[in-house]
């Protein structure tokens, strides 16, 4: 069987359900899904045995045996339930410069000066090899086609489409040269952000408030699938595109990342033991709503794609 044209490689993994039935892990190839409950009850269990499971998946995708179900008859859920989510901030050069200008420094510096100073800061960060990573909550994850619920308290909801690395082999204090050996797959994440809550105005000395700004339920649409890393030869050469109501807002290559996937995974692993199914989000490119002066509203439809990883499509709704 062949994979759908939007996916790299001969197959991918996902989590599916039929009707009111339970969610199950499945292998997708050519718009058909093979139920993998004979091997594991979740995709995370498959990732925990990735070296053993991957050859079996290759064999299954090449065979016609088993119960293949039409994708059109199934609901697609978030492809994995992570135990830990690590999010990279300020990791795309152009995005960081645009945000620095959009936030309008209180000291009145002109935009050209802010751009130049921020570009110099990006160069220093790359040279010093110190990514900025914070923690996300698994409870914020929702499916690739589910509604994004905008809370009543969120006045400036924004999109941030990102490449997400999915851990297979546990990783602790790994070197960048070995880090990609611990990445089992890649998927798409949209890191929805309440812009007005990023910085604590009541306590500016504390800085950012990622809890409220990024972790509401449904603020992290994930998927649609887990595409094995073997089918993504260069994660630093993928196109990240987000369309809002059909209009391209983000359209950038992962080449614009300051720290690549290997350096991010290695950096996180110096402090934390990465576990199978964990996500390392790699940051968002330029083109967020704050840049365009056009933030999310109820009724908006976001469509996110990354080369070879499929498409996620989410409608925004007001919780009220």
State yes or no: pLDDT of 38 exceeds 70: yes
Q: Helices 111-128 & 93-102, crossing angle to 10 degrees?
A: 140
The answer to whether residue 266 sits within a structural domain is: yes
State whether 120 and 248 are in the same domain. yes
pLDDT of 193 reads 97
State whether 71 and 168 are in the same domain. no
The answer to whether residue 5 sits within a structural domain is: no
pLDDT of 265 reads 98
Look at residues 77, 105, 130 and tell me which one is the last residue of a structural domain. 77
State whether 199 and 275 are in the same domain. yes
pLDDT tens track for 126-165: 777 789 999 999 999 999 999 999 999 999 999 999 999 9
pLDDT grade for 2, boundaries at 50, 70 and 90: very low
State whether 91 and 216 are in the same domain. yes
The answer to whether residue 7 sits within a structural domain is: no
| Averaged pLDDT for residues 73-98 | 92
pLDDT of 155 reads 94
Residue 211: how many other CB atoms lie within 10 Å = 13
Rounded distance, CA 275 to CA 253, Å? 28
pLDDT tens track for 265-284: 999 999 999 999 999 999 99
pLDDT grade for 54, boundaries at 50, 70 and 90: very high
Point out which residues pair with 183 in neighbouring strands. 167
Rounded distance, CA 284 to CA 286, Å? 7
Structural domain count, the chain: 2
Rounded distance, CA 33 to CA 72, Å? 10
State yes or no: pLDDT of 299 exceeds 90: yes
State whether 211 and 275 are in the same domain. yes
State whether 69 and 214 are in the same domain. no
3-state secondary structure the chain: CCCCCCECCCCEEEEEECCCCCCEEEEEECCEEEECCCCCCCHHHHHHCHHHHHHHHHHHHHCCCCCEEEHHHCEEECCCCCCCEEEEECCEHHHHHHHHHHCCCCCCCCHHHHHHHHHHHHHHHHHHCCCEEEEECHHHEECCCCCEEECCCCCCEECCEEEEEEECCCECCCCHHHHHHHEEEEEEEECCEEHHHCECCCCCCCCECHHHHHCCCCCEEECCCEEEHHHCCCCCCCEEEEEECCEEEEEEEHHHECCCHHHHHHHHHCCCCECCCCEEECCCCCCCHHHHCCCCCCCCEEEEEECCECEEEEEEEECC
State whether 58 and 109 are in the same domain. no
State yes or no: pLDDT of 58 exceeds 50: yes
pLDDT tens track for 282-297: 999 999 998 899 999 9
- Give, in order, the Cα–Cα distances in Å from 31 to each of 225, 231, 271: 12, 18, 40
| Averaged pLDDT for residues 188-194 | 97
Rounded distance, CA 39 to CA 59, Å? 13
Least confident range from 61-70, 121-130, 228-237, 285-294: namely 121-130
Structural domain harbouring 254: 85-318
The answer to whether residue 6 sits within a structural domain is: no
State whether 95 and 64 are in the same domain. no
Share of the chain above pLDDT 90, in %: 77
The answer to whether residue 62 sits within a structural domain is: yes
Look at residues 46, 77, 108 and tell me which one is the last residue of a structural domain. 77
The answer to whether residue 106 sits within a structural domain is: yes
Mean per-residue pLDDT over the chain, rounded: 92
State whether 282 and 219 are in the same domain. yes
The answer to whether residue 254 sits within a structural domain is: yes
State whether 73 and 112 are in the same domain. no
Higher pLDDT, 82 or 124: 82
State whether 56 and 161 are in the same domain. no
Residue 126 belongs to domain with CATH number: 3.90.850.10
State whether 66 and 110 are in the same domain. no
pLDDT of 105 reads 63
The answer to whether residue 1 sits within a structural domain is: no
Look at residues 59, 77, 95 and tell me which one is the last residue of a structural domain. 77
């Amino acid at each position: 069987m062949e994979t759908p044209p939007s996916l790299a490689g001969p197959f991918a993994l996902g989590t599916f359900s039929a009707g009111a039935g339970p969610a199950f892990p499945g292998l997708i190839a050519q718009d058909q899904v093979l139920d993998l409950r004979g091997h594991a009850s979740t995709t995370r269990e498959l990732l925990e045995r990735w070296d053993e499971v991957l050859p079996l998946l290759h064999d299954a995708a090449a065979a016609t045996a088993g119960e293949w179900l039409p994708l059109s008859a199934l609901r697609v859920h978030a492809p994995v339930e992570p135990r830990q989510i690590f999010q990279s901030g300020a990791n795309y050069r152009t995005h960081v410069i645009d945000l620095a200008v959009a936030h309008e420094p209180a000291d009145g510096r002109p935009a050209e000066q802010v751009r130049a100073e921020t570009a110099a800061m990006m160069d220093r960060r790359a040279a010093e090899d110190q990514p900025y990573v914070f923690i996300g909550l698994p409870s914020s994850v929702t499916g690739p086609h589910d509604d994004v619920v905008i809370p009543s308290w969120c006045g400036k909801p924004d999109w941030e489409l990102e490449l997400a690395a999915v851990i297979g082999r546990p990783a602790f204090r790994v070197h960048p040269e070995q880090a990609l050996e611990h990445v089992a797959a890649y998927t798409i994440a949209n890191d929805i952000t309440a812009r007005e809550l990023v910085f604590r105005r009541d306590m500016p000395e504390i800085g950012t408030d990622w809890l409220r700004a990024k972790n509401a339920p449904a603020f992290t649409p994930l998927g649609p699938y887990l595409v094995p890393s073997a089918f993504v030869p260069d994660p630093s050469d993928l196109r990240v595109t987000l369309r809002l109501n059909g209009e391209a807002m983000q359209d950038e290559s992962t080449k614009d990342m300051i720290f690549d996937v290997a350096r991010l995974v290695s950096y996180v692993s110096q402090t934390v033991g990465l576990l199978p199914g964990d996500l390392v989000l790699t940051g968002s490119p330029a083109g967020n709503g704050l840049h365009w002066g056009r933030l999310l509203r109820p009724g908006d439809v976001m469509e996110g794609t990354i080369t070879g990883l499929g498409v996620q499509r989410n409608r925004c709704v007001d919780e009220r």
